[in-house]
Structures are given as structure tokens and as C-alpha cells.
Amino acid sequence: MPKKIVIALGGNALGNNLEEQRKAVKITAKAIADLAEEGHQVIVSHGNGPQVGMIHLAMSEYHKIDPKTSEPELAVSVAMSQGYIGNDLEAALREELLNRGINKPVATLITQVLVDPSDPAFSKPTKPIGSFMTKEEADVLIAKGENVVEDAGRGYRRVVASPKPVDIAEIESIRALCDAGQIVITCGGGGIPVVKKGNALCGVPAVIDKDFASAKLAQLLNADCLIILTAVEKVAINFNKPDQKWLSEISVEEAKKYIEEGHFAPGSMLPKVQAAIQFAESNKKGYALITLLEKAKDAIDGKSGTIIK
């Protein structure tokens, strides 16, 4: 049966620079096209780790050269990364579909994701952004109220919050495009982080985890399946230990138990499993899948990946 699928692409699906990205998206497009060819309705989200860092660094360096220019804003850097990643991914996917005789529109949507200004993450920023600085450069930012920490003796780096997404500003537009039969690329890099002030949406210095944003997207679209792509075919407990065990299907309760037992690494598999739980709990008829990019079609057919429901 055709399904409505939100697929969250990881960094390995996009490469680490412009040249790598243009090669990687051609491979990525094949995996997405496989799902579309099966008749599934596909919505694509993606990370932006190296890309947003390059943009933000470039803008920072330009500001140093010409102080009259505006200081870089992280929300702006995220928006720019959505545009240029979406452009490459959209072009590769459209070409792959046409090569298969599938005339299906593909649209990239610059997406704002709302966060709660009272989210506890804002009181404890942890995500490093930008380049390394000297202590003197760090002191200038600290005097401006920025959060800066020393990074393992390599210098100082600015850190920002990673709040949870609470809503997606463009969700009705995304839904309309999906209902019109288009493949939508959205919530890139977790979305542009914004807070609501009256009728205005204002960008904030934060980084939204793309897996949590993808789970929120799947929830709001009432998707049948959320696929979170990673570097391994399945989730494992006791990973890299003699008693390692690959998991094919687990319940939400089992997943929570494994988290409590410390089986999943923070910043790696942990947020993926947490996002999978979030979606599975929000949609009792749906389920989450964690697997490799090239195994996405097999996972939907029940031949690969880890199902959490």
C-alpha cells in the first residue's frame, strides 16, 4: 500500500563540500526516487551541518574585513543553507525521476520552525558554531552577551541553544504541495529557528536538531512512516561490544528502556531514537524506521532497518 513518508537525510547523504554534495545528491536521489516509483508520497528533510558552518564562517570573515557589513545571524545562515542544498537535491531528484519516465514536480520550501523562547535549552547553550577564536576575540563576544566556551584547548567557540521544535510555520503550504502530488524538500537543517512575537516570526540564535524537526513534520502531516537515515543499517544495543545485538523491531517502551540503560550515544544514535519515539507516540497508526540511505526501499518493504512503533 502506498504510504506518506517523511525521510530525514543525514550528512552522509549530502557530502561535506560543494563538489561532494553534487556527487552525493545523485546517489541520494536514486533512493528517494525508488520510494516515489513505488507510489509512495515522499517529503524530504535534511541536515546542514557542514554547509551552515561554511556559510556562517564566510559571513563572519567578510564582516571582519568590512565591519560596516552586518554581523552574521545564524537564522540567516540556516536559510541560505536550505536554499543551496535544496537546489542541488531538487535538481538531482527531478533528473532521476525523469530518467525513469516519472513526471513528478519537486519543490524546495524555505521553512521556519517555531521554538519556545522558554525552552530550557536557551539557559544552557551547548551547540558550537563558527570558527575557533583567541581569548581576546572571545572576550569581545562575551562582553556583547554571547555564550563562548573553550573547546578542548583548541581555542574558543561560540555556543548556541538546541531547543525542541514546537510548530512549523509553513506546514499548510507543505501540506498543499503534498496533496498536489509534489515531492517537497523542507525543514532543511532542522528549519530556521524562530519565535513568535505578536504577528512576527523572529529568528533566534539556535540550532534545531533535524531529526526532531523531521519527527514534528511527520506528526503534523499525519505521515504513515518517518525514515531517519544514518550510517548503519540497523540500531544496535551493546554497540561495538562482544554482545552487540542488531534490532529489527522494537516497541516505544523497549526503546525507552534501552535509552535508560545508556545504549545510544548522545549526539549520534540517541537523538535519532528519541525522535523516532516522539513520532511513534504521536501517531499510533504510524511507525519510525532507522536505516541506511541505500536500504530505505528495503526497510519500507520490511527487509531492513529498525522499526520503532
Q: How many CB atoms lie within 10 A of CB 201?
A: 16
Residue 87 annotated in active site:
no
Mean pLDDT, residues 16-28 taken together = 91
- pLDDT by residue (tens digit) across 143-174? 888 889 987 778 888 889 999 999 999 999 99
Q: What is the pLDDT of residue 140?
A: 86
pLDDT confidence band for 39 (50 / 70 / 90): very high
Range with the poorest average pLDDT among 45-54, 78-87, 122-131, 165-174: 122-131
User: What pLDDT, on a 0 to 100 scale, did the predictor assign at position 175?
Assistant: 98
257 given a catalytic annotation: no
Q: Does the annotation mark 284 as catalytic?
A: no
List 3, 4, 12, 147, catalytic entry: 12
132 or 290: which carries more pLDDT confidence?
A: 290
Annotation marks residue 127 as catalytic: yes
Q: What percentage of the chain exceeds 70 in pLDDT?
A: 100
Residue of 210, 234, 297, 309 marked active site: 210
pLDDT, tens digit (0-9, with 9 covering 90-100), for 218-260: 999 999 999 999 989 999 999 989 999 999 999 999 999 999 9
Per residue in 261-299, pLDDT (tens digit) is 999 998 889 999 999 999 999 988 899 999 999 999 999
Catalytic pick from 48, 86, 127, 286?
A: 127
Tell me what pLDDT residue 56 has: 86
List 30, 234, 272, 309, catalytic entry: 272
pTM given for the model: 0.92
CA distance 280 to 289: 10
How confident is the model at residue 183, as a pLDDT? 98
